[in-house]
Structure 1
Amino acid sequence: MSPAAFQRRWKRRTPSAARCGAVAVEFAAIAPLLLAIIVGLIELSRVYSVQNCLETAAREGARFAALDRSGMMLGGKTANQKLVDDVKNYLASNNINPDKVNVKVTAADNPDQDFNLDDPANDLELFQVRVDVPYSDVSYSPVSDANDYSLNAALTFRNGRAVVND
């Protein structure tokens, strides 16, 4: 094979400059879509993580209310105050601003009525721990006021005071 024939054959197999430009245009057209999908997945995983933290915090707070609370309150705090503080501390340890979190202890059958864990009349009664935080305060991306909503978790538990034996 002569060198000229080899060169002609080689030129047919190499991509042309026009084809290289087409790849760049295709990438430019697809890149925003891929970036949007990646950012959406990151944001979705954040929402899932925060929702899981809210549910766990509500569960841990309600679990406290079922324990024998004697000797657990410091400085004259009520059981409700300790429950709220414990929930907020748990969420703060998971990088959720406790100042933006709303925690309520309500009657299970009436969410508008506050529930006093220390009231003997409420022993063995059902109560609900409700935890919520605005989405804009946990989102990685900015959220307009019109599109903001609340992530929340609620757990119903019995004010049982189970005694812990040593």
Structure 2
Amino acid sequence: MMVRKLRKPHEERRGTATVEFAVMAPLMFLMLIGLLQGSRLFDSHAIMAQAARDGARLGAMDRSEWLAQGISSNDKITQDVRGTMAANGFDPEDVDVFIEFPDDPGNTFDLDDPSNDLALFELRIEVPLTPLVPSDTSDDNQLKMVSKVVFRNAKSTIVQ
């Protein structure tokens, strides 16, 4: 006759929690880091989108009274957008601002040209991803985060 030795259930699972933690901890840390990077990118894009809207809104307004002598509307809006981005922690030297025709990328839209009155313009902001997300890409093949908005050059006034 065989006699079985009864084991207690907790003796068979000794060390199981340690092994499970060793397997799951790296995955959890990887997910946590990904979540932090994703939220940082989302926040950065929200800042860029707001700066683009604010800059384009200035371009759509009557600029005759607040524009300094000798500076074009395009330059003033570019400076303001870079200033907004710098105030939010971006390096203004890395911020590229383009004011172009929405259907003709690369063709600069002159906000002060009377022939462009009531025409649509696109304000686009580009920032390299390298300061936001570490990567191994070269300067020639750099990824960029882009935010753009299209407004009408209506020269509207603020009514109070």
8 A contact 1:96–1:138 mirrored in 2: no
CA shift for structure 1 position 65: 0.8
* Counterpart in the other structure of 2:85: 91
8 A contact 1:100–1:137 mirrored in 2: no
- Greater helix content: 1
- Post-superposition CA distance 1:23-70 (Å, at most 9, x none): 112111111000000000111111111111111111111100111112
CA shift for structure 1 position 163: 2.0
* Counterpart in the other structure of 1:145: 137
Give the distance between the partners of 1:164 and 1:30, measured in 2 at CA: 57
- In the superposition, the TM-score normalised over structure 1's length comes to 0.82
Match of residue 67, structure 1, among 19, 38, 61:
61
* Counterpart in the other structure of 1:6: none
* Counterpart in the other structure of 1:78: 72
* Aligned residue pairs, count: 152
Identity %: 35
Q: Over aligned residues, Cα RMSD in angstroms? A: 2.2
Equivalent residue letter for 1:144: D
Which residues of structure 1 form unaligned runs of 5+? 1-11
Give the distance between the partners of 1:75 and 1:39, measured in 2 at CA: 49
- Post-superposition CA distance 1:69-98 (Å, at most 9, x none): 122123522100111111111112221222
- In the superposition, the TM-score normalised over structure 2's length comes to 0.85
- Report SS of the residue matched to 2:130: helix
The 5 Å alignment of 1:97-112 reads: 97-112=91-106
Match of residue 108, structure 2, among 99, 114, 118:
114
Equivalent residue letter for 1:85: Q
Match of residue 158, structure 1, among 141, 152, 158:
152
Give the distance between the partners of 1:106 and 1:148, measured in 2 at CA: 22
Q: Which has the larger radius of gyration?
A: 1
Which residues of structure 2 form unaligned runs of 5+? 1-7
